[in-house]
Amino acid sequence: MKILIVSCSLHPESRSRCLAGELESIWRAYDRAEISSLDLRDLNLPTCDGTSAYGHPDTVILQERFTDADAVVFAVPIYNYDINAAAKNAIELAGRQLTGKVAGFLCSAGGERSYMSVMATANSLMLDFRTIILPRFVYAGKGEISDTGELNKDIRERVAQFGEEFLHLAEALHSA
């Protein structure tokens, strides 16, 4: 089984990227799946325009990476009570490649009140593409990840629990 972890933040000192790194480390120790990662900073994705953006070379790369994966985790920052625009754009450009696959979310935010922020995107993925959404996600407020990228104990435990549940669901779907 192949799992792709997508780091969606464009910020050089991203806390959501720290969550992605923690999950990747945990999963590599499990050795239960082939893990790959994608940092949206490495692509020069066009803004989705509903037409020519789908043929852009970096969009094609994104679509191929989503197609190749059996399951996808999005590590996203939360801005203004929603996932960031880069993540939304990536999903608009390549969401169709998530049809019938498991997806999950690792979120970092400046505050504690926007913990439901992924719901609009999760609903869209479920309804538009029939993506199976893990009904557990990690939400880390600013105080739970240090300025040096260190995750506190509670967040590390929640990432580990997310990882185990994600693998369980993805393995079950993959073997069905």
pTM: 0.96
Q: How many CB atoms lie within 10 A of CB 93?
A: 24
Residue 1: pLDDT band with limits 50, 70, 90: very high
φ, ψ dihedrals at 37, nearest 5°: -130, 155
Q: 173 to each of 57, 67, 92, 99, 106, how far by Cα in Å? A: 31, 16, 24, 12, 20
Which residue's entry shows tokens 């325009």? 49
3-state secondary structure the chain: CEEEEEECCCCCCCHHHHHHHHHHHHHHHHCCCEEEEEEHHHCCCCCCCCCHHHHCHHHHHHHHHHHHCCEEEEEEEEECCEECHHHHHHHHHHHHHHCCCEEEEEEECCCCCCCCCCHHHHHHHHHHHCCEECCCCEEECHHHECCCCCECHHHHHHHHHHHHHHHHHHHHHHHC
Q: What is the mean pLDDT of the chain?
A: 95
Is the separation of the CB atoms in 111 and 80 below 8 Å? no
pLDDT-based confidence at residue 111 (cuts at 50, 70, 90)? confident
pLDDT above 80 for 176:
no
Give CA–CA dist 145/16, Å, rounded.
9
- Spatial CB neighbours of 43, under 8 Å, sequence gap ≥ 6: 58, 61, 62
**Domains of the chain with bracketed CATH:** 2-175 (3.40.50.360)
What percent of the chain clears pLDDT 90, i.e. is strictly above it? 89
Per-residue pLDDT at 67: 98
How high is the pLDDT of residue 31? 85
pLDDT the model gives residue 157: 97
Residue 36 to residue 91: CA distance in whole angstroms? 18
